Structure 1
Amino acid sequence: MKIFNSLQFKISMVIVVPFIIMLIISNLFNIFSVNNVTKKLSYKVLEESAKGEAAKVESLVQEAFDSLNTFEYTINNLYQSGERNREVYKNTTKNFFETLPEGTGALFLIFKPNVMGNDVDYINDPNYSEAGGMFSDYVYRNNGTSADRGMTSEELKSDYYSVPVTTGNINITSIYDFEVGGKMVKMNTWSIPLKNKGEIIGVAGVDIFIESLAPIMDNINPFENTLTSLFDHNGTLLYNKENESYIGKNVYEAYPYYRDNNVLESIKAGQTVIFEDFSTSLNTKSAYIFVPIKLETGQNWGMKILVPNYVILEDSNNIRNIMIIILAVILVIVFIITPLIIKKKVVFIIKLLAQDLTKLSKGDISWDTPPGFTELKDEWGDIARAIKSILDNLNNVMNTVKESSEQVESAANEVLSGNNDLSNRTEMQASSLEETASTMNEMASNVKFAVSDIYDSTNMVVEAKDYVGKAGRIIEESVNKMDAVYEASSKIMDITKMIESIAFQTNILALNASVEAARAGEQGRGFAVVASEVRNLAQNTQESVKNITSLIVDSNDKINLAAASVNESKDIFNDIADRMDKVSDLMQKVNIAAKEQENGIGQINIAINEMDSSVQQNAALVEEASSSSQLLLNEAKNLNKLIDFFKLR
């Protein structure tokens, strides 16, 4: 099942399936069109073949009429020459009959009453007695020879005599049964009027054996398995290869479904009829074509040619089969070639792209696009160039971010170390101030309770002077440290601003990377997650830096206040130092100045307490700065860890 889930199979199906559907539809349309065209062409060929065969039959029928016309012409010449000898006419009829084909069963000649002028002389003649002496001669075949006789009164009442005499038109009778040589045969009679100077003087005619049409019709075989039929102007079947028992029946009686196609009416109108139907004789769907055969009488016989569809459509079926074979070959070629082309031109490249994007999802951006792909002029070239640009930009950005984060980490380490040192010194300063405060309290107590003891006071003054000098130095040192803290805080602010700028640029680059990853679709999802994490870290770093900056600004404000207080204390201590220098000179006035000294010591006490409070505040600020520095250091380390996820060039 793996092959069905492969990209090669899916892309091949996307291309091959619509192509196959269009190819099949096109071929079906072509096959249908070719079938229609070849069917029409085959039907046209069938129609022309049928018309050609009908023309042959018509020619043979016309030969029979020509023979009859020749006989009529010969008789008219005899009559017009004044010949009235009946034996001459009988011999002429017999001799002419012997020239006719075997299919002609009889030749007869009849003159109307008294046309010969001697009918009364033959009233008792056995050959003419039944006709009242009028001339009639019927020459027929009898066991391979010809014989003749006169015609009966009943025969003279038949259509083949009465119709030409009364209408002056050629007449062809319907089929009838007649005994010849002791057996019944089917025949019809063709007769034409004899005219002299426009007046009808008699009738000449022939009897045609219907079975004589069989050899002619049997030779009509334009296609394999062709069945033919022949019927006269009344629709009576003269020949029927399908079923000979239908001969003599009307076509509508034998084949009722012919009526649905108006076969007989169309033939009488001289029109060709073509239709398709299932043939029980051929046991298959077949083409029926009926063509008229024009007779000299102005009437039309009809000839049917029945051909199986599989015969007339054989070429069409062969073309269809060839087209199906070609289609199958094309389908096989498409199924084989298309996946190979897709594999070489698409899947192979996508596989390389997937491998490279997998590296990218794992943070490896040290690779480069495969050689030659960036020179391609198609979409693959565009993708390769875009990926190369992404890799170059990512490497540049990540290298820059890495360098910046390392600098931030180093600076944070320095700030943290400085803050820790400042914290320790601030604690020492606070301890010293506590000692100074305690000493000053003790000194105040001694001044208050030992004014009388000058020596002790002098010693205390000396001691106080020492402590004041020491406190002055501590205060001066505190001022210097505060200045250093302020300068370090300013540097921290510069560093945090640089970190904030880097975090902002990192955020923008991460956003751009997310957009490019989204454009890459499914393959860029892993990189999109990494880019999103980098962006979140950059935003957190930026927020933390803003908080640190705010804290440092607040710390600087407080340090400035503490510095002012310490400077003030320094001035006070300097003043105390000056005063203590004069104490030795003013010991004599100690009693007078004791009160003032007590007040001065009280002020010093207040100043030291205030200094102690400021130092405690400084210690708290230094602690906060240390905590912020530690947070900044941790964030910088986390950023470095995230950056270390990427394998750079």
Structure 2
Amino acid sequence: MSKLNFGTKLLLILISASIISLGTMIFVISSYSYSNSENDAKNYISELTKKNAVEIKSTLDKAIIIANSFASKYESAAKHNEKVSKKATISYSKSVLEDNPFILGIWFSFKDNSMFYEKNLDEVNPHFYTKKGAFQPYVVRNSDGSFTIEPSDDYSLDFPWINLPYKNKRVSITKPYKFKIDGKEVLMTTISSPVYYNNEFIGAVGVDFSLDFFNKNISSIKLFKTGYCSVMDSYGKIISHPNVKALGKSMNEITSNKSILKSLELTKEGKDNIFSAENLKTGEISHSYSYPFEFGNTGTYWTFISTVPEEEYLEEAIFIRNFSIGFGLVVLLVIIVVVLYSIRILNKNLTSIKEGLLSFFSFLNKDSKDAQLIKIDSEDEFGQMAKVINENIEKTESLIIQDNILIEDVKRVVNEVKEGRFNKKIEKSTDNESLEELKNTFNEMLETTKKNVCEDINKLTEVLDDFSKLNFRTRVKNDKGNVAVGVNNLADIITKMLIENKENGLTLDESSNILLKNVDKLNISSNEAATSLEETAAALEQITSNIRSNTENIAKMANYANDVTKSAKNGENLANQTTMSMDEINGQVNAINEAITVIDQIAFQTNILSLNAAVEAATAGEAGKGFAVVAQEVRNLASRSAEAAKEIKELVETATNKANQGKSIASNMIEGYKELNENIHQTKNLIEDIEMSSKEQLNGIEQINTAVNQLDQQTQQNAAVASQTQNIATLTDDIAKLIVTNADEKEFEGKQSVKAKDINIDKNSSNSNKKEEKKQSRSENNKEQETWESF
């Protein structure tokens, strides 16, 4: 070695170093390139799986939004008791299918279809209706892209697309099932959303998917040479698979591979998994990656699985290793440089794409506020891929930002509504048509609520609370809502009713007081008449005794004839006084009749007002129940007043008849006294006929005595009637005071200014007449007593 020149040594050193370096490099590069290619292939499989899973998730999420929007339309119609246009329903269903080619059909089914549609069979389009005549068309897409409207089955919880949302109380997706469409069996699945009215399940709406649609799109995915993709639902049923015979079947029916079955269990928990399994097409050992994705925040996961034979996804690594060894030392350095350079560029691009996608997914998952774009400036496939991804990131980011702004505005309005204010609107907008439509529907709902109810429910609640406390002074101010206006109108009507009730109660109270005074007068007059009749009866007994004595002592009759004449005159005066008392009783009875008529009219008006108040309270619904109770109590009081007035009227009519009979008897008694005077004069002139005349006088006096006794009985009956009348008048007075007290317990406008109606009864004249009659009656009674004593 020492003999060799520097160049040779250097060459040998370089050759040795090159051999060692190149050998080591070839080994290292082969091993590294093999491992790196394997990892790249796995990452590619993972990213491709996630990308396609996100696309399917977006499709399903859009279907859920459509189903929920469809359900919201019916819930809004049910809430406002509105009918839905059949033509508009058909048009809406077709527009949904036109705008969403991934949807096979759209449907709805309700317990009571008459809530939204008239139940009449269209003879032109009978296929729009079920067997029971319910309007329930099933709008479905044909294989040529046209639309067909087929009849659907009547509502039943036996159907899974209705039973699942009923049990889950949220949007649900069914297991794959076969359904005949256009005469052909189609393997499909359904997303259905529940419809509620007053927190009660009334039906469901939904959209159908053909599994063939998913299978065609997923089967078109190119994964190396023979690799393929498949999709399974949350029940373990195969949604998409290159083996068409496996569609709709459970994975347990196809394979018993524990790795596959374990992967399915993990996906139910939302966890992805990498495993090795047997390829169903070639029987080779394949690398598989399963990625679960949830849609619609339903807690339901579908699984996207990518499967590639190990030889295919490691083909590049194997090629690099064999290429490096085959070409040997001559091209080893070049290969190393090229491979290193290529790997560096590839890693850089893949890393950029990975970081961009991870940033985008972080933005989608709301872990970050914005998404970073992929920075690749080349014009190759990576550059084009980065450009397409960046465009979609920017578009999606813009939509999500708009949606978030709109959702925040919705939260603001919802908080206002929670506090009872309906005069707010959602002002933000978005390019998302579904959310924009939902915003417009929500604004329309708020406007309708404000128009039909009120702008601020708190003000209405305060007024109703005051009403419950019997304070009808408060009003809902500056609110044009129908309910607010109705409550104000109801308060005005109740105030008017209370004013009239109090006015009528005061009038009834005053009338009952007058009635009590008149009844007292009637009692006094009846007692005085009874006293006079008792004195008259006693005088007649004395006359009868004297006439008998005169019959036995004819000789003494002439001496006493003058005294008998005076006594007869006094009897005639007493009879006249009795007639005057009867006239006075008739006058008092007529006054009672007038007061009873006023009471009866007041009772009738009070009854009419209570009926009007009951009608208004019924119109107010739940808020008017308290007023309905008050109106019923007023009505009962009015009925009791009418019955009391009727009883008083009957008693007064009886008293009038009795008084007229007494007057007639008194007139007969006067005539008897005149006849007695004539007999006395004949006795004085014809003493010889005294005996016969005395007998005739005795008979006449006995008849008069009988008539006076009858008159005394009638007077006693009049006194009893007057006593009963006084009791009824007292009851009427108590009722009147109860009406006034009941009205005074409420607070209303004009309460202090209410006065009784003018009854127009001259009280002073009747009192003065009675006093004069009493004086005259007493003076006549004194004269009669003196006459009888002298007789």
TM-score, normalization by structure 1 = 0.42
Is the radius of gyration larger for structure 1 or structure 2? 1
Name the structure, 1 or 2, with higher relative contact order (CA <8 Å, separation 6+). 1
